Amino acid sequence: QVQLVESGGGLVQAGGSLRLSCAASGRTFNNYVMGWFRQAPGKEREFLAALSWSGVRIYYADSVKGRFTISRNNAKSMIDLQMKSLKPEDTAVYYCAAHSSYSISNLASAYDYWGQGTQVTVSS
């Protein structure tokens, strides 16, 4: 079993920054892929970024390139998402996810495990 817990969400003014963290526990294997998604009210879940457990392979959605950075803290088994230049349209619940594969996927249906989500609200 794999458990994921997000933290770091909150209220931030437009143009500000937040760092989200996802703590992974349980049987996390070397061939796992970790991803970040978000879902705004009335919208589909949107892929943001993903990396292999090794951290060697990284993939970003075009919409967040240059603003968001995904990274792995090897010592703590955590995945971070550093967000800068936040906009009101970034307001959403942010989720981390994992699936046991060597291949990175941007499809929510491909991921096996999900965290509970953390709310990010960007005010204007």
What is the reported pLDDT for 15? Answer: 98
pLDDT over 90 at 117, yes or no: yes
Report pLDDT digits (tens) over 14-53: 999 999 999 988 876 667 899 999 999 999 999 999 998 7
Give 6 or 30, the one with higher predicted confidence.
6
For range 2-7, the mean pLDDT: 93
What is the reported pLDDT for 58? Answer: 93
Report pLDDT digits (tens) over 46-84: 999 999 877 779 999 998 999 999 998 766 688 999 999
Task: Tell me the three-class secondary structure of 41-82, residue by residue.
Answer: CCCCCEEEEEEECCCCCEEECHHHCCCEEEEEECCCCEEEEE
20: exposed, middle or buried (C-beta count within 10 Å: 0-12, 13-18, 19+)? buried
What is the reported pLDDT for 5? Answer: 95
What is the reported pLDDT for 26? Answer: 84
